[in-house]
Amino acid sequence: MSYISVKHLNKEFKVAQRGSGLKNAFKSLIKRKYKIIKAVDDISFDIEKGEIVGYIGPNGAGKSTTIKMLCGILKSDSGAMKVAGFDPFKDRVKYVKNIGVVFGQKSQLWWDIPVIDSFELLKSIYKISDEEYNKTKDELVKLLELENLLSTPVRQLSLGQRMRAEIAASLLHNPKILFLDEPTIGLDAVSKLEVRRFIKEINRKRQVTVILTSHDMTDIEALTNRVIVIGHGKKLYDGTLTGIKKKFSSGRRLEIIYRDLVNEPVIKGTKIIEKGNNKVVLDVNIDEISISSVIKKYTDVCDIEDVNIINEDIDNIIVKLYKGYDL
């Protein structure tokens, strides 16, 4: 049995529908119409200990519903869930000692007081012993480079610093699983890189299983190769990021800089995007022709000075993927 095992998970919501206008506002007070939305529709997956998994999907796809069920906040309608040997909802109080949660938009630190005070409070919430607390805290402080921030009130921290403190706060009780919901939202480029590095380190050093959601595909790409994609509550894809790329990026873009070309070769399976000044940019459909064959065709007719293979932007691929499933 896997460390996290989710089988045929379902969750429906009743959503009240209401027209606009004062008349409808009064109407809806008396009688409401409901629409049933399948937020999570027969989702199954397995995650092994120590994995980092990216859980992605467009807004309203059912990501946070799934996360909430995994955290024991929401009860599923049907299906089975086992996380680290617990049923998250039934064993909630025992189970949540084993998880750490960072909701990107919601801080668990006290805004007006130094970081360390929030840590102390979490210590007593989780009933962490002094010894263990000091050990974990020192480790995390070193790992997340928080030495100089501990006595600063949270409101004076930069967003990146605050996110680091958030992550440390969620790890004080030594959880085995870490849920990260949009951990890099709003961060600048440098802080993003830092946060990613820390997540990786924590995963490696502490063997923490990490499940993260993000709209920033570069996050996912930097952190993990395993992604689960959901849309309209259904699981659309579960596998490697490279797999998605293969499946949805129909081609590679090739930039060739050459000399002495007389006749542009016509190659089946390629499309010229840009031409001129001893340079050509083409899209290559790798199902039809391999990159090396294209290059070979060019070497036959000219001298090649430089070749660049441009991978399609991961964001574009995801957009294609969503489009492919009509999201």
List of residues contacting another protein (CB under 8 A): 13-14, 22, 25-26, 29, 65, 68, 71-75, 89, 92-94, 96-97, 99, 101, 103, 105-106, 108, 110-113, 117-118, 120-121, 124-126, 153
- Between 132 and 238, CB nearer to another protein: 132
**How near is the Cβ of 126 to another protein at its closest, in Å?**
7
Helix axes 159-171, 130-143, angle to 10 degrees: 150
CA distance 24 to 93: 42
Question: How many other C-beta atoms lie within 10 A of the C-beta of residue 73?
Answer: 15
- Give me the count of residues in the chain: 327
β partners of residue 36: 14
**Residue type at position 6:** V
CA distance 317 to 312: 7
- Between 68 and 235, CB nearer to another protein: 68
Give the position of tokens 């961060």.
187
DSSP state of 312: P
- Between 93 and 262, CB nearer to another protein: 93
**How near is the Cβ of 30 to another protein at its closest, in Å?**
12
Give the position of tokens 């921290």.
157
Question: How many other C-beta atoms lie within 10 A of the C-beta of residue 220?
Answer: 24
Coil/strand/helix, residue 12 = strand
CA distance 212 to 202: 14
**How near is the Cβ of 259 to another protein at its closest, in Å?**
57
**How near is the Cβ of 178 to another protein at its closest, in Å?**
12
**How near is the Cβ of 315 to another protein at its closest, in Å?**
27
- Between 124 and 292, CB nearer to another protein: 124
- Between 97 and 215, CB nearer to another protein: 97
**Type and span of the H or E element at 201:** helix 189-206
What DSSP line would sit under 96-144, residue for residue?
GGGEEEEETTB--S-TTSBHHHHHHHHHHHTT--HHHHHHHHHHHHHHT
**How near is the Cβ of 111 to another protein at its closest, in Å?**
8
**Computed from CA positions of residues 219, 221, 227, 233, in that sequence, does the dihedral angle turn out positive or negative?**
positive
Q: What is the CA radius of gyration of the chain?
A: 25
Contact at 8 Å (CB) between 102 and 83? no
Instruction: Tell how far CA 14 is from the center of its chain.
Output: 27
**How near is the Cβ of 115 to another protein at its closest, in Å?**
12
**How near is the Cβ of 169 to another protein at its closest, in Å?**
11
- Between 98 and 225, CB nearer to another protein: 98
- Between 125 and 273, CB nearer to another protein: 125
**How near is the Cβ of 193 to another protein at its closest, in Å?**
27
Pairing status of strand 177-181 against strand 270-276: unpaired
- Between 39 and 146, CB nearer to another protein: 39
